Structure 1
Amino acid sequence: MAGEWRAHLATLGIVAFAIMALFFADVRSMVTIWWTASTFGHCLFVPLLIGWLVQQRLPGLRKLEPSVWLPGLLWLGGGALLWLLGAAAGVALFRHAALVLMLQGATVALLGRAVSRALLFPLFYGFFMVPFGEEMVPPLQLVTARLAMVMLDMVDVPAHLEGIFITTPTGYFEVAEACSGAKFVIAMAAYGVLVCNVCFKSWTRRALFLAGALGLSVLANGVRAFATILVAHLTSVDAAVGFDHVVYGWVFFAIVMVLVMAAAWPFFDRKPGDPWFDPKALKEVRRATVNPLMAGGMALALVAAAPLWLAVSSAAADPLPTELRLPQVAGWDRTDLRPAYPWKPRFDGADHLVMGRYRNADRRIVDVAIATFDRQEEGRELVGFAQGAADPDSQWVWSSPAPAPQNGLGEQITAPGPVVRHVVSFFGIGGGALTGSKAEVKLATLKTRLSGGDQRAVAILVSAEVGEGRAADKAIADFIHDSGDMQLLADRSIGIR
């Protein structure tokens, strides 16, 4: 039996190494996120926890025989397909999840059904190595701000809420991305799922524990934001900043974890020493007769097919015009009037990016930006992290949704002052219909890259400042109307007509 384990583990090691080597760029980007983004710092511990979970199951695993289970190659192939989709659409989350899926599929295929069932939870827990959850940040910012407002009302602190900004007599507070509580919710999800497996057998108790842990994390973050503003109201803003840094950095998550575990402790129903699985029941599964080396070769072929297809289908790109110009719009003239606070959208890697300011006879002013790409790839994407109206490296921050046409994306962004802007963004891929949906942009990018279609892409942003006597939404709507056909402007910007 030891010889069989060595053969299967050696083959699995070769396939796993090949996956890590072939997709090393994605492995490196994932580990870089773990190391540099505090939201995903807990991911550094997940591989160690998986090793510990496997070690806990070793006594039972020694009683099982590994085998090749070919249906596991479907799981691996699904991972390869997901990587292809993620690479074509420019979605790092898909590529990172695909790495985990491919490693899981290789394990299932090369160690067999019985061993995989014994390792079911450690295999599943591998998904927590994927940096996911950034999409929760804007909703959690809004939830945290509203929770803080409710609590401020309860203690009669006068406050005004606008998006993620709270104004009190003491000062002006922003529920920033780092204050949204997302990193605590994500870390609590990883911790809570681990506790569910280690400490509970009942699925009802597991569900109640996890729901309670996540809910308490959100509520506690609202309390932290409220307490910070209250300290500022009772003392000073400087004192509140110091309080927030101490609570947020050292105490907050530890307190929440202690409260969660203290409340759940009496309900633990898994006793120390309880077996993780029954080896005798798993031994009844039939073994496959396929050689592990042959299965390993099939796995490698599936893995290599994804990047090969992408390289072939996206080899060529249609050229952009050599120069990109802003449009001439009837009733609007270019102006050099300075904005209340400088604004420039961010489109890393864009082949062209032009900006201009327009004013009409009603003294309404808008800023227009157009960015074009001959193709999209890692680091130069139409939509994605840090791309768009609010550059995270600038003083502009997203604060709430804003009105927009049906095919546009409306956002309110804020800079120090405060200076508030409304921005309407339109995106187009390869001459397709303009959209404000980032998901539709990704799907259109995916389609063109996989089919070898026209990959040229454009973003058009129309923005105006909000303030006394400045109707931003009216100015934006008037400019879009007077521009005529926005689709024509987009197509001309990338050289289609």
Structure 2
Amino acid sequence: MTSRALSMARLSGSAVLGWRGHLAALGGLSFLILSLFHRDVIAMVFIWWNASTFGHCLFIPILIAWLVQQRLPGLQQLEPIAWAPGLLWIALGGFAWLLGAAAGVAVFRHGALILMLQGAVVTLLGPAVGRALLFPLFYAFFMVPIGEEIVAPLQLITARLCMMFLSLSGVPAHMDGIFITTATGYFRVAEACSGAKFVIAMTAYGVLVCNVCFTSWPRRALFMTGALMLSVLANGVRAFATILVAHLTSIDAAVGFDHVLYGWIFFAIVMAVVMAAAWPFFDRRPGDAWFDPEQLRGSSWGAVSLPLAFGAAFGVVMAAPLWLIVSAAASEPLLGAPTPPEVKGWARTTEQPRYPWKPRFDGADHLVMARYRNPAGQVVDLAIVSFDRQEEGRELVGFAQGAADPDQHWSWSSPAPAPRDARGEQITAPGPVVRHVVSVYKVGGAPLTGSAPQVKIDTMKARLLGGDQRAGAILISVEEQRGMPADAAIAAFLQDVGDMKDLADRSLSIR
């Protein structure tokens, strides 16, 4: 054995010995983080297992382990150190968790958990190891179930693609939001048909391919752009093909065709096409080193003792939940259920709608509804919702909360006109029955808003700074009927009901 080989063997052996204590400390700190935030861990795994959109997240930990294993030969040549500046990374994760917990935004808490674990790696193993593991650490973000926000836009894009392909194929069709009507039937581009699950999974897969198969950043950018565009286009073709099969045969045949194509074949075909098109342009050769250990070795600036780094890291992790416990204000009580207002020119009516409607606000302390009619024959439904405080499972805005309750077979179909500081949307029920809904939200002393992100911000401020946590919503809704436009009825009611802020304050017992 040559002297160079002997020196490399000694270096590798000493590095392995140095790793043991640092890996033990990292394992202990990771266990403490996962235990302290076990509710978020359980929630993430529950989403992975039960939501098909995020089923691919189950494979991300395995892929991260594989990526680390690929880098082991180089890692063994590095010496881990405890690095004090890594505590800033953990603190950033703790602060993000605090914001997410205060605002009731699960994705912030889940992302913060990943940040804290990443920070633990950098703090207890050092900057050289952190740089060597930069991509595996970054790839851990794909464990966060995020992307539901793209469902509604992708529904509209898929519907428009269907209409384009139907027009090219000579099939007459009419589109209303995410609903398409042909001579054969009435089709809805549902959330599951939006293609969001494939776009999200393709993003995770594409980023992995970019790291493993490419070194050129322009090629990586072109690959990701092409992969995502092909996913959206292919999903539009799939939805169009389902409608076309129904047009040529029957609805039942189309459902069976879509089930097979959607569940088993579609994504595999798209992945195969993407990889076949990109294969000639791969520029990372098998066996290429993932990093150069010599370039990563540097000074030991910021190094501290391992016990000190471990104790400081644990203290930083504990700070976020302790702050929330200390600073969260006790909620002001509600003085009872809100009372529907008397509106000049409108009388209460008990006539029934064509399809039952009731907004969904799980955990609300009160949900009061009233129906009004004016002399012009316009009929308006008013819903007033109030919470004494918001917490997990009792949130003013969130998944399935709001005007369209999926359990009652109501579906969001498109945006609708609304006044400033309000939210307008069109929802549809079987029939079809179309409703326009205008919603306003209020948290404590904050101004009225129609923005879900603003509600989260107002909630976060109230919980972090000890403000008033009472929260509520007012929804004004009208069925669309021939000769009786819904938007006109809503505008007339809003004009006559008076100041919405006063109504919201009275509903929350603020005045």
CA distance in 1, matches of 2:248, 2:387: 52
SS of the residue corresponding to residue 126 of structure 2 reads: helix
Letter in 2 for 1:50: I
In the alignment, residue 431 of structure 2 is paired with which amino acid? G
Match of 2:83, SS?
Answer: coil
| Residues paired across the two proteins, number | 497
TM value normalised by structure 1: 0.99
The aligned amino acid for 2:78 is L
In structure 2, the residue matched to 1:169 is: 183
Q: CA deviation at 1:48?
A: 0.4
Q: How far is 1:289 from its partner?
A: 3.6
Deviation at 1:469, TM superposition (A): 2.1
2-side partners of 1:289 and 1:344: how far apart? 60
The residue correspondences of 1:238-387 to structure 2 (distance < 5 A) are 238-286=252-300, 288-387=302-401
Q: Is the 8 A contact 1:114 1:285 kept in 2?
A: no
Question: Which stretches in structure 2 are left out of the alignment for 5+ residues?
Answer: 1-13
For the 8 Å contact 1:77–1:302, the answer to whether it is kept is yes
Q: C-alpha distance in 2, partners of 1:289/1:381?
A: 44
Corresponding residue for 1:494? 508
For 1:13, the equivalent position in structure 2 comes to 27
CA drift of 1:288 comes to 4.3
Separation in structure 2 between the aligned mates of residue 261 and residue 19 of structure 1, nearest angstrom: 38
Asked if the contact 2:348–2:373 (Cα under 8 Å) also holds between the matched residues in 1, the reply is: yes
Deviations along 1:248-289, whole A, 9 cap, x unmatched?
011100000000000000011111111100011112343644
SS in structure 2 of the partner of residue 117 of structure 1: helix
Quote the Cα distance in structure 2 between the aligned partners of 1:287 and 1:309: 31
Contact 2:337 2:368 in 1 (8 A): no
Q: CA RMSD in A?
A: 0.9
Partner of 1:160: 174
CA distance in 2, matches of 1:386, 1:29: 17
Q: SS state of the match for residue 393, structure 1? A: helix
Contact 2:338–2:506 at 8 Å: present in 1 too? no
Give the equivalent residue in structure 2 for 1:84.
98
Deviations 1:194-248 (A, max 9, x none): 0000001111111100110011000000000111111111111111111111100
Contact between 2:179 and 2:413, CA under 8 Å: does it hold in 1? yes
CA distance in 2, matches of 1:67, 1:331: 75
Determine the structure 1 residue equivalent to 2:41.
27
Check the 8 A contact 1:192/1:213 in 2, yes or no.
yes
- Match for residue 69 of structure 2? 55
* TM-superposed deviation, 1:439: 1.1
Partner of 1:97: 111
- The structure 2 residue matched to 1:119, chosen from 118, 133, 137, is 133
Structure 1: 5+ residue stretches without partners: none
Contact preservation (8 Å) 1:199, 1:270: yes
Residue 334 of structure 1 contacts residue 357 of structure 1 at CA under 8 Å; is this kept in 2? Answer: yes
Q: Distance in 2 between matches of 1:179 and 1:164?
A: 11
Q: Is the 8 A contact 1:409 1:424 kept in 2?
A: yes
Shift of 1:6: 1.1
- Which of 407, 410, 425 in structure 1 is aligned with 2:439? 425
CA offset at residue 7 of structure 1? 1.1
TM-score, normalised to structure 2, is 0.96
- Contact 1:228 1:243 (C-alpha < 8 Å) held by counterparts: yes
Asked if the contact 1:464/1:475 (under 8 Å) is kept, the reply is yes
Residue 439 (structure 1) aligns with: 453
Amino acid across the alignment from 2:219? R
CA distance in structure 2 between the partners assigned to 1:478 and 1:412 by the alignment: 18
